[in-house]
Amino acid sequence: MKHFVSVDNLDETKVLELIKRAQYFKNGGQINLTRAVYCVNMFFEDSTRTHTSFEMAERKLGLNVLSFDPKQSSVNKGETLYDTLLTMDALGVDLAVIRHSENEYYQELITPSADKTLDIGILNGGDGSGQHPSQCLLDLLTIYEEFGEFAGLKIAIVGDITNSRVAKSNMELLHRLGAKLFFSGPEYWYSEAFERYGEYRPLDELVAEIDVLMLLRVQHERHQGDQNELVFSPQKYHQEFGLTKERYQKLKADAIIMHPGPINRDVEFASELVESKKSRFKAQMQNGVFMRMAMLEQVLKGRGLGGENK
């Protein structure tokens, strides 16, 4: 593929291929490049995990990583995202990993009109409340390593679902792979549109029967104008929708807990449980590097820049 911007077109075969390649890299696998490859990470929203993880993945693949700080770029002079990418293309950059606050910011970049010449591989590091393909796929790698399959698994996605691009990517792909999905959390952060993927139920009804508890971060920065934000209580949220010690004890023996980070400790997740036996929070971050290597390899292959085994 020449770009990797969503999970929309991934079928089970492709997902398993990506997982196997990520495991190949996790076991120390490398690739050949046809020439020196240059990439840039353009993050217009704050990020620690995704930004650093992509850079680690790029360096492990032997790519040349260029620095980019949006606060010191011509974006602040009013330059469009397209024109910034056109500059990168002209300078010889082959790939750009982008996080942006606008949903589907990438459409103009991957399907430019006939009068435009932009030709640079785009990987979506998260777009608004739209998609977060790399987080979705690293989550799937983490689940696969635990259970070896997706069909029939009972997975609960809990919390700020409406504002979560992680939730949307995961519900779409996990449903396609045969997992049985449940949703829980504040009803004001839930939409009937999600009913096509699963069932909304109170968290306490779900805890004892699910295989995967997927907690979401409460995204306060996306709640501007939301009247519920004005009366939000971290303590009340934790008691009603968070993973408390009591709920942890009710989980199945082989159940796992996931969270995309950053964690609001003692809100979504009791602080003392973040690194507990059933938590896969750290494993998710570790797997992120290897899954992003697999995603980068797909784009490198699609653009004739490498990807074969050494």
Query: Binning pLDDT at 50, 70 and 90, where does residue 82 land?
Result: very high
Per-residue pLDDT reduced to its tens digit, 2-32: 999 999 989 999 999 999 999 999 999 999 9
Q: How far apart are CA 106 and CA 104, in angstroms?
A: 5
Report the percentage of the chain scoring pLDDT > 90.
Answer: 84
| Amino acid 310: pLDDT | 55
Report the percentage of the chain scoring pLDDT > 70.
Answer: 100
Average pLDDT over residues 83-96: 97
Per-residue pLDDT reduced to its tens digit, 232-284: 899 999 999 999 999 999 999 999 999 999 999 999 999 999 999 999 999 99
Q: How far apart are CA 163 and CA 167, in angstroms?
A: 8
